[in-house]
Amino acid sequence: MLISDWRRVLLGAWSVWLCILGAAADLIVQFGGLPFDAPWWAHTIVFVAIGLVRIIKQPRLRGFWRSEDGAMRPRVLGAAGLIGAIALAAPVVERWEGLSLSAYRDVIGVWTICVGDTDDVHAGQVATTVECDDRLRRSLRSHAAALSACIPDDVEAVTPIGLGVAAISWTYNVGPTAACRSTLVRKWKARDWIGACEELPRWNRAGGAVVRGLVNRRGAERAICIAGLRDAGVM
């Protein structure tokens, strides 16, 4: 049975395209009269094998789960901790923060630019997409590291990865100081995974008022968190 988005995965996988390029190069060498012995058939076999592995749903391996992009993901954060979950958290943050190349005031009046970045932003400031990518990468790493400092290493390592991804997105929005003082983190440290996930919807206010956008975002983060618990087999 193929994964639901198998065409996009197959056409977008670097491993597949590298095999195609390798096979093409070998064919040129083999049939172009060049004095090399190129096993073009070997690249073809590897290409077919990798392609099938990427697009066919397979049983879960111990410690991993298969996401819809065809890749195997760890069920828990492991030794890499929250830093290792940044790549998965980035698209979640980008979806809810949006992208603005010009500085603007957010719902509580704070100057913001790029993907919800408020660090050293002023009126009239503009940025390029490359600068925004760099800001997001640095800010995600900074927030993940600050949050990681609040979680004992032995707890962080066994945290379901969905909780880690949701927590990075949440912390990016509320800030590490508020995050580390929260009931969510207290429950997280107690390994109350479900309780930690259920705290997310409570963070739906800005400037003292409930914000519809935050209600929707917290709901999405909770869904990621709960899905991670199911993938890790803890609920």
Look at residue 24 and give its three-state secondary structure: helix
Could you state, in order of their start, the residue ranges of all structural domains in the chain? 6-57, 72-231
Q: What pLDDT, on the 0 to 100 scale, is given for residue 43?
A: 56
What the block records as the tokens of 222 is 């909770």
**4: burial class by Cβ within 10 Å (0-12, 13-18, 19+)?**
exposed
Compute the C-alpha angle 199/178/138, nearest 5°: 105
Which three-class secondary structure state does DSSP give residue 72?
Answer: strand
CA–CA distance, 49 with 154 (Å, rounded to integer): 38
The catalytic position among 5, 69, 106, 134 is 106
- The answer to whether the CB of 46 falls within 8 A of the CB of 21 is no
Rounded-to-integer distance, Cα 169 and Cα 142, Å: 12
pLDDT at position 112 is 97
Domain 72-231: which CATH number of 1.10.530.40, 3.30.465.10, 3.30.9.30, 1.25.40.20:
1.10.530.40
Whole-number Cα distances in Å, 48 to 12, 22, 25: 15, 13, 16
| pLDDT on residue 235 | 80
How does pLDDT run along the chain (235 residues), one tens digit per residue?
Answer: 555 555 665 566 656 666 666 666 666 656 655 555 555 555 566 556 555 555 454 444 444 444 444 555 679 999 999 999 999 999 999 999 999 999 999 988 999 999 999 999 999 999 999 999 999 999 999 999 999 999 999 999 999 999 999 999 999 999 999 999 999 999 999 999 999 999 999 999 998 999 999 999 999 999 999 999 998 888 8
Among 97, 117, 156, 231, the active-site one is 97
Tens digits of per-residue pLDDT, 110-127?
Answer: 999 999 999 999 999 999
Kindly report the backbone phi and psi dihedral angles of residue 152, in degrees, each rounded to the nearest multiple of 5, phi listed first.
Answer: -55, 145
- Name 117's bridge partners: 113
* pLDDT score of 231: 87
CA distance 139 to 97: 13
- State the number of CA atoms in the 13 A half-sphere of 35 facing the CB: 0
| Per-residue model confidence as pLDDT tens digits over 70-99 | 555 679 999 999 999 999 999 999 999 999
What count of other Cβ atoms lies within 10 Å of the Cβ of residue 20? 13
Instruction: Output the CA torsion sign for 175, 176, 178, 183.
Output: positive
Active site residue 97: yes
Quote the CA–CA distance of 221 and 202 in Å, as a whole number: 12
Contact 144, 82 (CB under 8 A): yes
Cα radius of gyration rounded to whole Å, the chain: 22
pTM score, two decimals?
0.71
Angle between helices 86-97 and 161-174 (to 10 degrees): 40
Contacts of 32 (CB under 8 A, 6+ apart): none
CB neighbours (10 Å) of residue 73? 16
Known catalytic residue at 192: no
